[in-house]
């Protein structure tokens, strides 16, 4: 049993164990292929915090991560935990976990036939895409604050939709300006070669991050993103999550 699971009430039925021994050689080889495909581009275009986090939490190119080992490194840094779950969570369970600094993490891995895209998140999207950023103290605080705010808005569909846009344009498709260049930090970019290439080649319109605009910006999940919002620092999204609490709660 996960030692931190005790205080999760809504999410409890979705918690599972990662059976790391059960991964096959083919699955580890698919992971290795996925990492090899992404790393050359990310070495140039991912933000420094992502690349540092990748090292700090001990991700490897050749094997699927063992979440218990990741958490031994991640926990002491920021108090976050990559917690294995059975799949998509209902919103209240998802926000409860974020507010408790537990990231719902799937354990299955896509097959070789679908290296670029899976309709549902898998361990590559969740761990390779998301978890390295959780080693960064400000991003870590932002994500918990995000979960806290959303957990208080469960009865208001419209406000939750606005918060969903904040998640989309930061956690999933966030970009940051560093040393005069656009760098990637959102997991939907980090884990997708196609989406990242589109951004690097100047596809989307890039606007300065603005909370009011983000809360009202529609997006399509099924297409390349037409608009992205660039921050100057991660303090900006932490402040935005606090500001969102004032505006929406
Ligand atoms: Fe994601």
Report the separation in Å between the CA atom of 126 and the middle of ligand 1, taken as the mean of its atom positions: 6
Report the separation in Å between the CA atom of 195 and the middle of ligand 1, taken as the mean of its atom positions: 13
**pLDDT score for 78:** 98
Clarify whether 130 is annotated catalytic. Answer: yes
**pLDDT score for 249:** 83
**pLDDT score for 6:** 55
Answer whether residue 150 shows pLDDT above 60. yes
d(CA 109, CA 35): 13
Q: Which of the pair, 6 or 19, is modelled with greater confidence? A: 19
Q: 49, 96, 172, 195: which one is catalytic?
A: 172
d(CA 75, CA 157): 33
Averaged pLDDT score across all residues of the chain? 95
Comparing C-alpha atoms, which of 151, 13, 22, 165 is closest to residue 87? 13
Q: 96, 136, 187, 191: which one is catalytic?
A: 191
Answer whether residue 4 shows pLDDT above 70. no
Q: What is the mean pLDDT of residues 70-82?
A: 98
Report the separation in Å between the CA atom of 21 and the middle of ligand 1, taken as the mean of its atom positions: 25
Report the separation in Å between the CA atom of 125 and the middle of ligand 1, taken as the mean of its atom positions: 6
Q: Which of the pair, 222 or 210, is modelled with greater confidence? A: 210
**pLDDT score for 118:** 87
What tokens were used for 181? 């260049």
Q: 130, 134, 187, 196: which one is catalytic?
A: 130
Answer whether residue 11 shows pLDDT above 80. yes
d(CA 72, CA 69): 5
d(CA 240, CA 167): 11
Clarify whether 125 is annotated catalytic. Answer: yes
Side-chain-side CA neighbours of 40 within 13 Å: the count stands at 4
The secondary structure of 161-207 as a DSSP string is HHHHHHHIIIIIT-EEEETTEEEE--HHHHT-HHHHHHHHTT-SEEE
Report the separation in Å between the CA atom of 11 and the middle of ligand 1, taken as the mean of its atom positions: 17
pTM score, two decimals? 0.96
């Amino acid at each position: 049993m996960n030692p931190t699971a005790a205080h999760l009430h809504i999410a409890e039925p979705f918690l599972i164990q990662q059976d790391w021994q059960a991964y096959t050689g083919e699955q580890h080889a698919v992971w290795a292929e996925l990492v090899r495909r992404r790393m050359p581009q990310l070495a140039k275009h991912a933000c420094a915090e992502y690349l540092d986090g990748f090292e700090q939490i001990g991700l490897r190119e050749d094997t699927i991560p063992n979440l218990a080992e990741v958490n031994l490194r991640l926990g002491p840094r920021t108090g976050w935990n990559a917690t294995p779950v059975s799949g998509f969570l209902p919103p209240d369970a998802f926000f409860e976990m974020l507010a408790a600094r537990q990231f719902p993490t799937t354990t299955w891995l896509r097959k070789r036939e679908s290296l670029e895209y899976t309709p549902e998140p898998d361990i590559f999207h969740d761990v390779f895409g998301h978890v390295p950023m959780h080693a960064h103290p400000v991003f870590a605080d932002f994500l918990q604050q995000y979960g806290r705010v959303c957990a208080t808005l469960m009865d208001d569909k419209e406000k939750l939709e606005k918060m969903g846009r904040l998640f989309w344009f930061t956690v999933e498709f966030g970009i940051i300006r560093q040393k005069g260049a656009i760098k990637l930090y959102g997991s939907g970019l980090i884990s997708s070669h196609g989406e990242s290439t589109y951004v690097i080649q100047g596809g989307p319109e890039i606007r300065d991050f603005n909370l009011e605009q983000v809360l009202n910006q529609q997006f399509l999940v099924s297409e390349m993103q037409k608009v992205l919002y660039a921050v100057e620092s991660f303090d900006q999204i932490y402040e935005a999550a606090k500001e969102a609490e004032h505006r929406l709660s």
